[in-house]
Amino acid sequence: MKANITVLPGDGTGPEVTAAAVEVLRVVATRHGHDFHFDEQLIGGCAIDAHGDPLPPATLASCKQADAVLLGAVGGPKWSDPSAKVRPEQGLLGLRAALGVYANLRPVRVHPQLHALSPLKNEKLHGVDLLFVRELTGGAYFGAKTRSADTATDECKYTVAEIERAARRAFEFARARRKHVTHVDKANVLETSRLWRATVERVAKDYPDVKLEHQLVDSMAMLLLTRPASYDVIVTENLFGDILTDEAAALAGSLGLLPSASLGDGKVGLYEPIHGSAPDIAGKGLANPLGTILSAALLLRYSLGLDAEAREIEAAVDAVIERDVLTRDLGGSANTKEATEAVVQQLQTGRARAAA
Ligand code: NAD
Ligand code: IPM
Ligand code: MN
């Protein structure tokens, strides 16, 4: 199949991890006879440096005509002055809004070999298999902001339509999984949460085969650590989803392992690891590429319909973890390139074995 993929390396370790994922996608394309065309564009801090704009028109145009977008990360100390008018993160938020990708899927699986890396006791980690559906284009991230000398506000606004489309995605995914949706909110305090609760309950009526429960976000933060295996699909608003998924990454062993897929009703999906630009390790070859490589697998599955190829990448990543080719965040000594080459080699030998 032919596909146009826009690649946005971004800042910090972004270029290192996207190069790894593109290499893996090229190997998959060659082995399966696909024709992937990659168009690399600027976003975030590097785009501010080059054009004074974190989301230049050429970048947006490329993303809009693409079948899928693969992003590294944006931001870093160079652009973090609190008084700056233009920030790298505005580029990412602008892109999510422009593509209309309101449902951010963040799967969390825990590889048995990495149990020891989690701060939790091993027995709590057995069977952890979560899918977060984080609403991505609404809430406090996109509300009106005000600032005076001694006051600041961030409006948190949600409409029924915004809540409903995210909730439907969660129930649809739950149907194909363990049929359990946990909706996370702060309905004891926030009016937006009460609208979420009412809307999610109404949507749930269309999915009588799926069990729905509600949890308040403060207690959910605790439950994720005390009984993470009890949950299946977790649906929540933008800000809560941001925080809870970084927390959930600790279950998996490292932030560097978690992928994400952002989907809307349009054809273009946005794929990025959940971690940031990791400026503390940028340029040192230390970044774990697996979260971005797994994001490339999600790209194949959700934007290109290539589920078998996606599974091959996921199996190769599992095998590399089993072979103990681990980057420093996972307690190993492999660099980004070595971990990537191990995945590539696994794809090649794994398939050769299957064909033999
Ligand atoms: P971060 O996720 O960049 O890093 C947090 C910690 O995790 C650091 O110690 C880092 O070294 C480590 N880490 C992250 N990814 C790793 C990887 N692949 N391999 C090994 N270790 C990894 O979060 P931060 O330091 O709070 O934020 C840095 C910048 O990134 C900020 O400007 C922030 O806005 C931005 N950010 C961007 C995105 C994105 O573009 N999607 C996401 C999160 C943060
Ligand atoms: C993420 C990041 C972003 C977010 C920032 C960089 C805007 O933390 O993708 O999780 O908060 O959505
Ligand atoms: Mn985040």
Residues around ion ligand 3, judged by CB within 5 A, are 242
186 is catalytic: yes
Give which of 188, 183, 95 is closest to 142, Cα–Cα.
95
**From CA 206, how far away is CA 171, in angstroms rounded?**
9
pTM (2 d.p.): 0.97
How do the domains of the chain map onto residue ranges? 1-106+259-356, 119-252
Ligand 1 atom at minimum distance from 17 CA: 18
Residues facing 216 on adjacent strands: 185
Query: Average pLDDT for residues 269-274, to the nearest whole number?
Result: 98
Q: Do 1-106+259-356 and 119-252 come out as alike in CATH topology?
A: yes
The class level of CATH for 119-252 reads alpha beta
Residue 263 host element (H or E): strand 261-263
pLDDT tens readout for residues 103-152? 999 999 999 999 988 888 889 999 999 999 999 999 999 999 999 999 99
271 is catalytic: no
Q: Whose CA is nearest to atom 10 of ligand 1?
A: 278
Q: Which of 120-124, 153-157, 217-221 has the lowest mean pLDDT?
A: 120-124
* Ligand 2 shell residues, CB under 6 Å: 75, 89, 92-93, 242, 274, 276
* Ligand 1 shell residues, CB under 6 Å: 13, 17, 73-76, 89, 92, 255-256, 272, 275-281, 287-288, 291, 329
The class level of CATH for 1-106+259-356 reads alpha beta
Looking at 218, 280, 307, 324, which residue is catalytic?
218
77 in Cβ contact with 67 (< 8 Å) = no
Give the distance (Å) from ligand 2 centre to CA of residue 43.
14
pLDDT tens readout for residues 162-217? 999 999 999 999 999 999 999 999 999 999 999 999 999 999 999 999 999 999 99
